[in-house]
Chain A
Amino acid sequence: MIEMNSTAQNAPAELGNSIRTGSGPSFDRRTRLRWANSAFRIACIAAAGFVCLVLFGILFLMFRTGILTFQEVGFAEFFFSTDWDPENGHYGALLFIYGTIALTALTLIISVPFSVLIAVFLAEMTPKWLRNTLRPVLDLLVGIPSVVYGYLGLTVLIPWLRDLTGKPLADGLLAAAIVLTIMVLPTISRVSDDAITAVPKKYRDASYALGSNRFQTIFRVVLPASSRGIVYAVILGMARAIGETMAVVMVIGNTAQIADSLFKPTAVLTSNIVMQISSVEFDSTWNYALYMMGFLLLVISLLMIVAVRFLQKKGASE
């Protein structure tokens, strides 16, 4: 939309130029340009409309297929039972919903303090040359494919956790949360870093002038001032953690049981969908239930994006 507006603004100037240079009859040129402009405008609107159509198409398809679950499964069973045994007609999805929430929460508990400290270090304490090296490194970390993280989790982290705890099988929430932490750490710290850097210098100057030391300045002035940006960063990290599949499926253990300890093999919405979707019959309640779980995931991540937009708007208006 932004590009479209700028083109529309530039067009009259361009029009004037072409008339001055006199390339052909001015009327033809003008009509042609007007036609090109409106065609471009329609193309842009069509593209934007197409994206919306795809989004609502996906939502509608997931919902329409997912809702069929409740022909045979009670609403209460799906959302409040933890007994997932589709071969024998039990479709309790609570354990996956719980798993997803627990995993995301655990990930954030580990990653947020780390990320904020990294961001503070980057924005407030590093000499310029180090900052200019570290920022690109973090940006590169964001781009590492999740399967690589999962593979390292499987081959390095799990044997290490096994040795450390003496558990025979270290798959579970903690292993998955550690892998996800490493994944979302660069995202959260880079976005928080930008938020902290954006705090005006006069705030810091005022704080120092009033006699506070560096610690007090950072924790009493800079962090509160950038808190909205940091929350935005955390939500971005959360969205990535909730939707992550490949890295999680490799370390979570894939067993349909509710995790009452950090080292119990369990499953989350994403890992269960990817493990089972290819094995189920097309027109079965089992298949519908997996679609319903996908729809739940979609709704959760959409809500998060709405929250991010809301925060951004509020921040801009202040």
Chain B
Amino acid sequence: MRKWFKSLTAVALALSLIGGATSAASAASTLKGSIVINGSSALLPLTLQASSEFKKLNPKVKISASAAGSITGPQAVRKGIADIGAVDWDASIDVPGFKKFDGQVANPVAVTVFAAIVHKDVKVNSLTTKQLQDIFSGKITNWKDVGGADEDIVVVNRKFGSGTRVNFQMKALSGTEFMSKGDNYKEVGSSGDMKTTIETTPNSIGYIDLPYVTTKMKALSINGVAPTEKNVLNGTYKVWGIGYFMTKGKPTGATKAFIEYIQSNTFQNGSLKKLKFIPLASVKNLK
């Protein structure tokens, strides 16, 4: 009986301590509000990581993040569905294929590195730009033509409106058109779908940003250069882009604080780097 009572006291004490701790934290930050983020799935790992850290510091801010491809970001902001539209290109200016979004401000948040990826059993480790162009336009259809086994190539593409697709097409394929039909061709809706499809489909090839690369797939070197932070910074690996958070006008309130948190040195050199994004400051001198 005594023992039971003792443990109960301990639990009660622990509970009150936890309660005290949370109330202390909420007293520390008076920032309130809710932030809705939509758009690029390439940036989603960063958004999720940042929001879980930001919510710890500011418990009264609610953040909900989802992703369905870059173009949905600025469009959701225009329609007023989202406060932040994550996008893999600067949507405040015209880019090939996409008109600018008037009245939106592009807040740079990270450098994203994109890589061609294959299923882990594919023997090929490196492809030239020409070979990539031929594979993604449907001219090369068998792995043996690029030094692999005698197997059909399954091409997995992102759907229209993906920022990863735009960056990969411009920078890895030098603007070559993608194929759009075929028995061994399919389109997926987000980076997460791309990851699952490449992991589970033998002989498949696709492309994704580095945070999604797992051991069940292989990131290819392009023209012999591996997709690493080092190679981006020394200027040899070209397939990367800056990710932006689009806001309606200049960001305010909780949204402003959240973007500033992501742009802060602590986050840029800490969690962001760990996720395999590259801090904005390191690429200032590139290009």
Contacts and interface: CB of A to CB of B under 8 A. Distances in A.
Interface of A: 85-87, 154-155, 158-159, 162, 167-169, 171, 253-257, 261, 263-265, 275-276, 278-282
Contact of B186 (A169, A278, A279, A282): A169
Contact of B200 (A155, A253, A255): A155
Contacts of A167: 183
A86 B186 CA distance: 17
B180 A85 contact: yes
A282 B200 contact: no
A158 to B, nearest CB: 8
Closest 4 CB pairs of A and B: A279-B161, A257-B181, A265-B186, A253-B186
Contacts of B68: 278-279
Contacts of A263: 183
Contact of B180 (A154, A256, A261): A256
B187 interface: yes
B79 A275 contact: no
B126 interface: no
B188 interface: yes
Contact of B189 (A87, A255, A265, A275): A275
B206 to A, nearest CB: 12
A254 B69 contact: no
A100 to B, nearest CB: 18
Contacts of B51: none
B201 interface: yes
Given A261-B183, A279-B69, 8 more contacts: A162-B201, A168-B184, A255-B185, A264-B183, A265-B183, A275-B189, A278-B76, A279-B159
9 contacts: A168-B184, A168-B203, A254-B189, A255-B185, A275-B159, A278-B75, A279-B71, A279-B75, A282-B78
Given A168-B203, A257-B181, A276 B160 contact: yes
B159 A276 contact: yes
Interface string B144-170: 000000011110000111000000000
B192 interface: no
A85 B201 CA distance: 26
B72 interface: yes
B19 interface: no
Contacts of A253: 186-187
A270 to B, nearest CB: 14
Contact of B75 (A86, A154, A168, A282): A282
Contacts of A279: 68-69, 71-72, 75, 159-161
Contact of A168 (B152, B187, B189, B196): B152
Nearest to B157: A255
B202 interface: yes
Contacts of B78: 282
B135 to A, nearest CB: 14
